[in-house]
Amino acid sequence: MTVPRIRFTFWKAVFLAIMAAGIYCTFLRFFRGLGASTNLSDQFPWGLWIGFDVMCGVMLAAGGFTVTAAVEIFNIKRFHSIVRPTILTAFLGYLLVCAALMYDLGLPWNIWHPLVMRNPHSVMFEVAYCVMLYTAVLAMEFSPIVFEHFNLQRPLRIIRSVMVVFVILGVLLSTLHQSSLGTLYLIMPNKLHPFWYSPLLPVFFFLSAIAVGLAMTIFESSMSSKYFGRELELPILRDLGRVLVVVLALYGILKFEDLYHRGVLKLVLVSGYEQRFFLLEMFLSLVAPLGLLLIPKIRESAQGLYLAAVLTLLGFVTNRLNVTITGVENAVGARYSPKWTEVVITAMFVALGFAIFGFVAKYLPIFPEEKVHILALRESEARFAEVVVPVHAGD
């Protein structure tokens, strides 16, 4: 059950290597400028940092509002044990998105300008406000974990009594900005390829955020069970898998109807650059995960759920990259692929995400239900407890 020592140091080495490269690239970005550190151009003002770090970053953090809404608002109690890890993922995700944005903005020290220089007709303005407020809400939703750790009863009571307000606010803000990331592209009817340009862009972005939120929760539960030696909450993941099937099916039907009504369906069969990426996206985001999850044997198994979740994540990451990069390449008459520095910075934020999650989960009560579990284990199987208890040494 213990995590093999060699493996642990291997990942540590990988992490340190990425960090070192990241620090060098940070120097390049801030002292040499965007031109020296990216493949961005006048034709391609948005690249990997917007396409992945921001667009995918916000999407991958959607588990926070999805699961919180299910548990706190819809009162589905059996999901309760996974609320905290998803809130941590979301809080961390949004902090990393904000950090990554500092790299992409040409004048990052002006990031506070939308606070006072308002243009309510700008989708970007709305996204900026929502992301800022939602990050604050996530801090509030995360705070009980810290209060619990330091045994601060009074603030804990206060925050719990008003938590429902933050929960509703969080779901509201998430709904707004997850969909608004799609609305950003509505102003480019002549630029974005018809596979992706649709008046329904905000709806697609919102629905896919929910799907990704669920998939990310399955992914993260599987990962943490593996690395913290926790027992997998398989019944919960099975339920999430079912909800994922429904959300993906809704997305798929809406996608089909949208392509049909806009007369784009026939393009799907015409060989082309965009078509190949579109088919890849459709396979990864819809065909493969739905195909897997509709087979009961796979849907019930931990490995099957994990695979379907990973495919869903890859599929919608492809979708966001298609919207930001593939879909506009022909219109602007240029191809874009990220420079190595861009890839390193993105890798750095992904690595930071994993590392900080692991660190926080180790020292703060992220998996509170485990305590009961450990006691049960202690009685029956002492060797399990030996592994699990040190993980929760900080409790």
Partner 1 sequence: MRRRGDLETKMSKGILYDATLCIGCKQCEQACATENGLPYDDHIAAQEITSAHKYTAVLTKDDKFMRKLCMNCDDPACASVCPVGALKKTALGPVTYDKSRCMGCRYCMAACPFGVPKYEWEKAVPGVRKCVMCSKRVADGKQTACAEICPTGATKFGERDQLLEEAKKRLHDNPGKYLPHIFGETEVGGTSVMLLSSIPFNAFGFRTDLTERALPLYTYQVLSRIPDFVPLFGTMLGGIYWITHRREDVAEAEAKEKKHNGGGR
**Binding region for partner 1 (CB under 8 A):** 30-36, 40-43, 45-46, 69, 72-75, 104-108, 110-111, 113-114, 117-126, 128, 164, 167-168, 171-172, 175-176, 183-184, 186-191, 202, 328, 332-333
CA 386 to chain centre: 33
Our CB check for partner 1 shows the closer of 123 and 287 to be 123
Q: How far is the CB of 289 from partner 1 (least distance, A)?
A: 28
Phi-psi sector, 122: left (phi>0), alpha (psi -120 to 50), beta: beta
> Quick one: 56 or 128, whose CB is closer to partner 1?
128
- Tokens representing residue 301 in the block: 């198994």
Query: Which CB atom, from 312 or from 324, has the smaller least distance to partner 1?
Result: 324
- Report in angstroms how near the CB of residue 297 gets to partner 1 at its nearest: 33
Contact 293, 243 (CB under 8 A): no
CB of 179 to partner 1, least distance (A): 8
Q: Using CB atoms within 10 Å of the CB of residue 206, give its burial: 0 to 12 exposed, 13 to 18 middle, 19+ buried.
A: buried
Pick left, alpha or beta for residue 333 (phi over 0 → left; psi -120 to 50 → alpha; otherwise beta): left
Residue 327: CB minimum distance to partner 1, A: 12
Residue of 319, 318, 295 lying closest to 307 (CA atoms): 295
CB of 109 to partner 1, least distance (A): 8
Task: Give 269's DSSP letter.
Answer: G
Closest separation in Å from C-beta 129 to partner 1: 9
What residues contact 246, with CB distance under 8 A and at least 6 apart? none
Least distance to partner 1, CB of residue 48, Å: 14
Shortest Å, Cβ 189 to partner 1: 6
**Three-state DSSP state, 264:** coil
- Residue with the two structure tokens 């995400």: 353
What single-letter amino acid sits at 148?
A: E
Whichever of 176 and 366 has its CB closer to partner 1, that residue is: 176
Task: Tell me the C-alpha distance between 127 and 50, whole Å.
Answer: 13
Cβ count within 10 A of residue 115: 10
Q: How many residues comprise the chain?
A: 395
What is the Cα–Cα distance from 118 to 115, expressed in whole angstroms? 7
What is d(CA 166, CA 159) in angstroms, rounded to the nearest whole number?
A: 9
Nearest distance from C-beta of residue 192 to partner 1, angstroms:
10
CB 123, min distance to partner 1, A: 5
Helices (H), the chain: 5-27, 34-37, 48, 57-60, 63-68, 83-104, 113-116, 123-149, 153-183, 201-227, 234-261, 273-282, 288-293, 296-300, 302-321, 327-332, 340-363, 370-380, 382-391
What one-character DSSP code corresponds to residue 42?
S
Of 287 and 332, which has the nearer Cβ to partner 1?
332
The smaller minimum CB distance to partner 1, of residues 45 and 272, is found at 45
Q: Which is nearer to partner 1, 72 or 233 (CB)?
A: 72
